[in-house]
Amino acid sequence: MNQRIHRRDLLRAGAAAGLAAGLVPLALARPRKPSLRLGIIGVGNRGTHLLRLALNMDVEIPALCDIREDHLQRAMEIVKKARGSAAEGYARGPHDYRRLLEREDLDAVICATDMQEHAAICIAAMRTDKDVLSEVAAAMTLKECWGLVHAQEETGRIYMLAENCCYWPHLLMVRKMVEEGLFGDITYAQCGYVHDCRALAFDQEGKLTWRGRMARDFAGNLYPTHDLGPVAKCLGIHRGDRLVSLTAMQSRSDSIENYVRQHFAKDHPARQVRFQLADSTNVLIRTAKGVLIDQRFDMYSARPAEGPYHAIQGVRGSYDSRLKSIWIEGRSAANAWDPQDKFAKQFEHPLWTNLAEKAKGSGHGGADFFVIYDFLETVRNGGPAPVDVYDAVAWSSIIPLSGKSIAEGNTAQAIPDFTGGKWKQPKS
Ligand X SMILES: NC(=O)c1ccc[n+]([C@@H]2O[C@H](COP(=O)([O-])OP(=O)(O)OC[C@H]3O[C@@H](n4cnc5c(N)ncnc54)[C@H](O)[C@@H]3O)[C@@H](O)[C@H]2O)c1
User: For ligand X, which residue of 10, 54, 63, 65 counts as binding (CB under 6 A)?
Assistant: 65
Does 196 contact ligand X by CB under 6 A? no
Element (H, E) at 225: helix 225-235
Kind and range of the H or E element at 235? helix 225-235
Sheet holding 307-314, edge to edge: 338-339, 325-328, 317-320, 307-314, 186-194, 292-298, 281-287, 243-250, 413-414
Among 29, 41, 53, 101, binds ligand X (CB under 6 A): 41
Measured from the Cβ of residue 422, the count of other Cβ atoms closer than 10 Å reads: 14
The mark string for 367-406 relative to ligand X (x by CB under 6 A, - otherwise) is ----------------------------------------
* Nearer to ligand X among residue 65 and residue 256 (C-beta): 65
424: number of Cβ within 10 Å: 13
Judged by CB under 6 A, the number of residues near ligand X is 25
From CA 27, how far away is CA 214, in angstroms rounded? 38
Smallest separation, CB 300 to ligand X (Å) = 16
What contacts 21, CB < 8 A, 6 or more positions away?
A: none
Give the footprint of ligand X on residues 83-142 (CB under 6 A): 94, 97, 112-115, 117, 135-136
| Adjacency order of strands within the sheet including 159-161 | 88-90, 59-65, 36-41, 108-111, 131-134, 159-161
Stretch binding ligand X (CB under 6 A), from 5-13, 37-45, 266-274, 391-399: 37-45
Q: Which is nearer to ligand X, 112 or 235 (CB)?
A: 112
- Write down the least CB distance from residue 190 to ligand X, Å: 21
User: What minimum distance in Å lies between the beta carbon of 167 and ligand X?
Assistant: 10
Binding mask 330-369 vs ligand X (x if CB under 6 A, - otherwise)? ----------------------------------x-----
Candidates 164, 157, 161; CA nearest to 383 is 157
Under rule CB under 6 A, residue 410 binds ligand X: no
Distance, CA of 329 to CA of 210 (rounded, Å): 46
d(CA 218, CA 221): 9
Closest residue to bound ligand X by CB: 44
Residue 120 beta carbon to ligand X: minimum distance, rounded to whole angstroms: 8
Judge contact between 40 and 50, C-beta under 8 A.
Answer: yes
Give the strand pairing for 338-339 and 325-328: antiparallel
Q: How far is CA 140 from CA 118, 217, 300, 325, 388, in A?
A: 9, 11, 20, 34, 17
Interface residue with ligand X, options 7, 71, 233, 349 (CB under 6 A): 71
Instruction: State which of residues 59, 63, 67, 351 lies at the interface with ligand X (CB under 6 A).
Output: 67
Q: For ligand X, which stretch binds (CB under 6 A), given 36-44, 245-253, 259-267, 313-321?
A: 36-44
DSSP 109-157: EEE-S-GGGHHHHHHHHHHTT-EEEE-S-S-SSHHHHHHHHHHHHHH--
Q: Which one of 66-74, 123-131, 187-195, 329-337 is the stretch in contact with ligand X (CB under 6 A)?
A: 66-74
Where are the alpha helices (H) located in 43-133, listed in sequence order?
Answer: 45-55, 69-83, 97-101, 118-127
The CB-of-360 to ligand X minimum distance in angstroms stands at: 17
The one segment of 63-71, 309-317, 347-355, 394-402 that binds ligand X by CB under 6 A:
63-71
Near ligand X by CB under 6 A, which window of 19-27, 45-53, 142-150, 380-388? 45-53
The binder of ligand X chosen from 68, 92, 143, 360 (CB under 6 A): 68
Residue of 45, 56, 353, 410 interacting with ligand X (CB under 6 A): 45
Q: Which of 39, 42, 308, 366 binds ligand X (CB under 6 A)?
A: 42
Distances (CA, A) of 46 to 115, 307, 364, 409: 11, 16, 12, 36
CB of 363 to ligand X, least distance (A): 8
Kindly report the number of other CB atoms within 10 A of residue 27's CB atom. Answer: 12
Q: Residues in the site for ligand X, rule: CB under 6 A?
A: 41-47, 65-68, 71, 94, 97, 112-115, 117, 135-136, 162, 164, 210, 364
